[in-house]
Homo-oligomer: A and B are copies of this chain.
Amino acid sequence: MSCKIHAESYDSIIERNWPDGFKKTHQRKDIFILLFCSEEPMSAAEIYDQLNSGDPKEKYAFSTVYRNLLAFEKAGIVTKTVLSTEAEAVYELKKSSHKHYAICTVCHRKIPIKTCPLHDISKFVESSLNGFEITGHQLEILGICNECQKKK
């Protein structure tokens, strides 16, 4: 498990972000740190692979990954997103509040879109859907990223 952030600061990061009354197992801390360090949302398989790529004495079960992602989600610190281009769901910490992605159809990179271009879409749509009460939305931008364009 590697990250740009110094190992000694992991504890304080966890301390600051941990949900109240949430049991601190080493599996949960490891998943949290992985998500914290990742620039992109991660799938359960990616998390599982990274967890098990380290010391082979440490084993992590797939079910543990899924159950804890769900637990994190319920605790309100993780967001699960299902993208139309991928078979698997992806997960990320809520801190970064990225809700939308530009997805490269070649390399499958997921680039967060900082601002949401939909803030005033609601009135527009609501008027044409008589009575439909909007509670959320999902937006994906598909295309070809900078690097993949160069490769061609």
Interface positions of A (Cβ within 8 A of B): 81-85, 102, 104-105, 111, 113-115, 117-118, 121, 124-125, 128-146, 149
Cβ–Cβ < 8 Å partners of A149 in chain B: 131, 133
Q: Is the interface of A mostly helix, strand, loop or mixed?
A: mixed
Known: A105-B135, A117-B125, A129-B141. 7 other contacts (CB 8 A): A82-B83, A82-B84, A83-B84, A102-B129, A131-B146, A131-B149, A137-B141
- In whole angstroms, how far apart are the Cα atoms of A104 and B131 in the complex? 12
A145 and B117 contact, CB distance less than 8 A: no
A-B contact pairs, 17 of them (CB 8 A): A82-B83, A82-B85, A84-B138, A102-B125, A117-B118, A118-B139, A125-B141, A131-B149, A132-B144, A132-B146, A133-B144, A135-B143, A135-B144, A137-B141, A138-B140, A138-B142, A139-B139
A145 nearest CB neighbor, chain B only: B132
